[in-house]
Every structure is written in C-alpha cells, then in structure tokens.
Amino acid sequence: MGINVTKDSSSNVVTIVIAGRFDFSMNSDFRKILSDPDSSGGSYNIDMGGVEDIDSSALGMLLLLREKAGGDSANIKITRCRPDIVEMLKMANFQTMFNIA
C-alpha cells in the first residue's frame, strides 16, 4: 500500500510504484515527488500494477506531475494498469498526454 519511489541517478528515471487505492490520501506522498528538485525535467515510470481503483484526485495528481515534468514535453510512462483503469485514463483523454502501456 502506498507509494514507493526509486531513482536511477545514471539514467535520471524516477520509478514510482503505486499500490492500493490511488486517491487523495496519497497526496502527501505525491507531494514529496513533486517537490524533489532533482527529478524535475527527468523521465518517470509509474507502475500502477497494484492499483485497485483511482478517483479524480489521482488524475489531478498525475496532471500535476506532468506539469512539473515539463508539460507537453514530459516523458511519463504509465504501466501495468488494469483494463478498467486504462479505460478511465482514456476517458479523461490521458492517452494523448501520457504514454500508457
């Protein structure tokens, strides 16, 4: 449960593993990622294999991360999502803003 962040300093890729219910309760953990000055401009790999459900605040947090990572030039990969969660991301038009695999 919660967020686990690992950083590969050589390739400057931040891997974020999220598990459980991805909602507002994770906002302080997410804040830490957002306020980390080292990671700005880098690449993110968000592993959502353990995510059971998401709500709109999760989508908001992902958008904030995208803003921090450079907006349209951001390189954020969202992986291992469950089909219903992929559906939700697509409904919010996330497939144009994130690399959903």
Partner 1 sequence: MEAVKKLIRYFRPYILPCLYTLIILGLWFYEYFTFMALSAVALIWLSDIYQRYKSPKAAVLDKSNDKDELLSSVKTQNNSYQDVTSSILDENVSISAEVERLSNMVNEATTELAESFSLMNSYAAEQKSLVGAMLGSKTTSDGDSASINDFIQDTEGMMNYFIETIVNTSKESVRLVYKLDDLSERIVSIEVLLKDLKFISDQTNLLALNASIEAARAGEHGRGFAVVADEVRNLSMSSANFSNQIHDVVAEAVSGISDARSVIDAIASRDMRFVIDAKTKNTEISNVICKLQKQADINMAEISTIADNIDESVGVAVRSLQFGDIVTQLAGHVAERSNNIAHVSGEIAEAISVSSISEDESTMVQALSNVTNACDRGVELISNIKGSPVEQEKMDSGEIDLF
Q: How far is the CB of 101 from partner 1 (least distance, A)?
A: 20
91 part of the interface to partner 1, by CB under 8 A: yes
* Beta strands 75-79 and 99-100, pairing class: parallel
Nearer to partner 1, 11 or 72 (CB): 72
- Rounded to a whole number, what is the distance in angstroms from the first to the last CA of the chain? 22
Residue 68's SS3 state is helix
What does the alpha-carbon distance between residue 44 and residue 16 come to, in Å, rounded to a whole number?
A: 7
Query: Which of 54, 74, 81, 100 is close enough to bind partner 1 by CB under 8 A?
Result: 54
1 part of the interface to partner 1, by CB under 8 A: no
Q: Give Cβ neighbours of residue 49 (< 8 Å, ≥ 6 apart).
A: 17, 19, 79, 80, 81
Nearer to partner 1, 17 or 54 (CB): 54
60 part of the interface to partner 1, by CB under 8 A: yes
What does the alpha-carbon distance between residue 10 and residue 85 come to, in Å, rounded to a whole number?
A: 31
24 part of the interface to partner 1, by CB under 8 A: yes
Q: Which residues bind partner 1 (CB under 8 A)?
A: 23-24, 27-28, 30-31, 34, 54-57, 59-61, 63-64, 84, 87-88, 91-93
